[in-house]
């Protein structure tokens, strides 16, 4: 490995997990992470940087169910990861056969766990009746998995980043504006706005929602049209919001499970409510997932995060704040009616129509690799993502995973993917007031 060097662009869970697995396998390797934000900055654009994220293996897709179990085993047993995982359980109101599909997958994997599909009337009495006022319209049954939970996402991301730095990985805080190629066309590094060139034999893009824009700009500046992601990757945004509970409510909600309102693909995306953090903040995510289709270059339209350095993530419109009020209502009804909503944020992730990651060599250039597309569900795999990304780099990924996560593969129509961005951000902004003189 001595002649190999790795440049990982992006310090979210895909990038940091790659660095973690690489440096543990090859302690002498030259590995650099480059990100526009410092890993311990007060505000970051990374989807991975958040107060908390759901950690579960409750998937109807067998591959992600297995991967979720593998990641949870690390969260439960490894002293590095353990402090960040809270095994509070999950309470998932299902309007399809989702609960049965999850139970079947656990069975197929031979995994015994404390999970069951509970009839609605019985479920309403669980957890001291916390979800008794939820909206159960169309709910068939409730999946209760006591082994699922949540992680303190930002704290965990910082801790693992510090660990990789301790092990010898370098961290450069800089915006990457382009990719470098040698004459035969191999990717040899990246460029920054100051004109610095960072070089490596392997360049791995873990750039989340920014990936289509970076590839589009690189395609234009190098004339290598095939670098463009085309319809493979779409940047999508979603709103989160929080309330701070008073002491009385906190004592009731402190040990609550993660709540999920599951809908069919036709009805819309699933929405969730996360248990309070140590600062007594209860969080929701909304049901409106949107693109921001904009002209990246004259005549080239793609969805990308807003151009501001912070993706304008704290600038949340009234319409999107309403999304969080709706989420509050369908989980807690009258219990949450007086809660004041605060800390709204728009979080951007990269989506594929099948909701699969892309973990693959880029087909247009040797030396260039892509590892991203969390599809709004990637955080929970943080402990193990890098293991598979290293396998991809070494060509030893199983054929099933190599095909599922390929750059080039057949992709289904997005209509079966409830979480695929369906709205346009421009239609969700506050109206601009014009004053009459």
Q: Tell whether residue 323 is a contact of ligand FAD (CB under 6 A).
A: no
Give the rounded distance of the alpha carbon of 272 from its chain centre: 14
Residue whose C-beta lies closest to ligand FAD: 374
Nearer to ligand FAD, 44 or 404 (CB): 44
Q: Tell whether residue 275 is a contact of ligand FAD (CB under 6 A).
A: no
Closest CA to 24 of 142, 137, 169: 169
Q: Tell whether residue 380 is a contact of ligand FAD (CB under 6 A).
A: yes
Measured from the CB of residue 356, what is the shortest distance to ligand FAD in angstroms? 12
> Could you tell me how many residues of this chain bind ligand FAD (CB under 6 A)?
38
Q: Tell whether residue 316 is a contact of ligand FAD (CB under 6 A).
A: no
Q: Tell whether residue 378 is a contact of ligand FAD (CB under 6 A).
A: yes
Q: Tell whether residue 89 is a contact of ligand FAD (CB under 6 A).
A: no
Measured from the CB of residue 433, what is the shortest distance to ligand FAD in angstroms? 29
> What are the φ/ψ torsions at residue 136 (nearest 5 degrees)?
-105, 15
Member of 22, 164, 179, 206 binding ligand FAD (CB under 6 A) = 206
Of the candidate spans 136-144, 207-215, 224-232, 427-435, the one that interacts with ligand FAD by CB under 6 A turns out to be 207-215
Question: What is the per-residue DSSP string for 125-142?
Answer: TGGGGTTTTS--TT--EE
Contacts of residue 25, defined as CB under 8 A and 6 or more positions apart, other chains included, come to 390
Give SS3 for 166.
Answer: helix
Q: Tell whether residue 9 is a contact of ligand FAD (CB under 6 A).
A: yes
Q: Tell whether residue 12 is a contact of ligand FAD (CB under 6 A).
A: yes
Of the candidate spans 141-149, 178-186, 204-212, 416-424, the one that interacts with ligand FAD by CB under 6 A turns out to be 204-212
> What are the φ/ψ torsions at residue 413 (nearest 5 degrees)?
-65, 145
Range 122-151, binding ligand FAD (CB under 6 A): none
Of the candidate spans 21-29, 79-87, 225-233, 374-382, the one that interacts with ligand FAD by CB under 6 A turns out to be 374-382
Question: Which neighbouring-strand residues pair with 295?
Answer: 301
Instruction: Look at phi and psi of residue 333 and say left if phi exceeds 0, alpha if psi is from -120 to 50, else beta.
Output: left
Member of 8, 20, 32, 48 binding ligand FAD (CB under 6 A) = 48
Q: Tell whether residue 15 is a contact of ligand FAD (CB under 6 A).
A: yes
Token pair belonging to 229: 């992601």
Nearer to ligand FAD, 240 or 360 (CB): 240
Member of 6, 14, 84, 331 binding ligand FAD (CB under 6 A) = 14
Member of 349, 352, 367, 418 binding ligand FAD (CB under 6 A) = 349
Return contacts of 60-68, CB within 8 angstroms, 24+ apart: 60/98, 60/101, 60/102, 60/105, 62/105, 62/108, 62/109, 63/400, 63/401, 63/404, 64/377, 64/381, 65/102, 65/105, 65/106, 65/109, 66/109, 67/381, 67/384, 68/380, 68/381
Q: Tell whether residue 176 is a contact of ligand FAD (CB under 6 A).
A: yes
Nearer to ligand FAD, 144 or 190 (CB): 190
Rounded to an integer, what distance in angstroms lies between the CA atom of residue 342 and that of residue 283?
10
Nearer to ligand FAD, 367 or 378 (CB): 378
Of the candidate spans 43-51, 123-131, 248-256, 326-334, the one that interacts with ligand FAD by CB under 6 A turns out to be 43-51
Give SS3 for 301.
Answer: strand
By CB atoms closer than 10 A (0-12, 13-18, 19+), residue 326 is middle
- According to DSSP, residue 341 is labeled P
Q: Tell whether residue 54 is a contact of ligand FAD (CB under 6 A).
A: yes
Residues that bind ligand FAD (CB under 6 A): 9-15, 34-37, 44-48, 53-54, 175-176, 206-210, 214, 238, 240, 285, 347, 349, 372, 374, 376-380
């Amino acid at each position: 490995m001595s002649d190999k060097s790795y440049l990982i662009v992006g310090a979210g869970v895909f990038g940091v997990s790659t660095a973690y697995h690489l440096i543990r396998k090859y302690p002498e390797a030259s590995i650099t992470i480059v990100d526009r934000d410092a890993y311990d900055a007060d505000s970051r654009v990374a989807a991975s940087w958040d107060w908390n994220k759901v950690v579960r293996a409750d998937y109807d897709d067998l591959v992600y169910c297995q991967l979720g179990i593998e990641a949870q085993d690390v969260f439960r047993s490894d002293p590095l990861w353990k402090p960040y995982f809270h095994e509070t359980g999950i309470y998932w109101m299902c309007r399809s056969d989702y609960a049965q599909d999850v139970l079947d997958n656990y069975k197929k994997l031979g995994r015994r766990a404390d999970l069951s599909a509970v009839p609605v009337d019985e479920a309403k009495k669980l957890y001291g009746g916390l979800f008794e006022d939820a909206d159960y319209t169309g709910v068939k049954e409730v999946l209760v998995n006591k082994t699922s939970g949540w992680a303190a996402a930002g704290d965990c991301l910082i801790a693992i980043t510090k660990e990789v730095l301790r092990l010898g990985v370098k961290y450069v805080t800089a915006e990457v504006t382009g990719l470098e190629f040698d004459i035969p066309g191999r990717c040899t590094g990246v460029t920054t706005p100051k004109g610095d060139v960072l070089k490596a034999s392997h360049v791995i893009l873990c750039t989340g929602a920014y990936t289509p824009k970076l590839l589009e700009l690189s395609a234009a500046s190098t004339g290598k049209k095939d670098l463009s992601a085309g319809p493979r990757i779409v940047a999508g945004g979603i709103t989160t919001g929080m309330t701070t509970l008073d002491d009385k409510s906190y004592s009731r909600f402190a040990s609550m499970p993660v709540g999920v309102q599951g809908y069919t693909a036709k009805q819309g995306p699933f929405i969730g409510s996360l248990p309070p953090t140590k600062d007594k903040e209860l969080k929701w995510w909304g049901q409106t997932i949107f693109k921001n289709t904009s002209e990246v270059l004259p005549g080239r339209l793609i969805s990308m995060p807003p151009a501001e350095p912070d993706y304008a993530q704290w600038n949340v419109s009234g319409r999107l704040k309403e999304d969080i009020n709706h989420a509050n209502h369908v989980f807690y009804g009258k219990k949450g009616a007086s809660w004041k909503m605060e800390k709204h944020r728009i979080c951007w992730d990269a989506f594929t129509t099948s909701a699969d990651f892309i973990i693959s060599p880029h087909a247009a250039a040797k030396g260039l690799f892509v590892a991203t597309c969390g599809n709004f569900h990637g955080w929970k795999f943080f402990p193990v993502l890098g293991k598979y990304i290293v396998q991809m780099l070494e060509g030893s990924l199983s054929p099933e995973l190599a095909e599922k996560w390929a750059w080039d593969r057949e992709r289904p129509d997005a209509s079966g993917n409830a979480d695929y961005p369906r709205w346009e951000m421009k239609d969700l902004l506050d109206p601009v007031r014009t004053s009459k003189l």
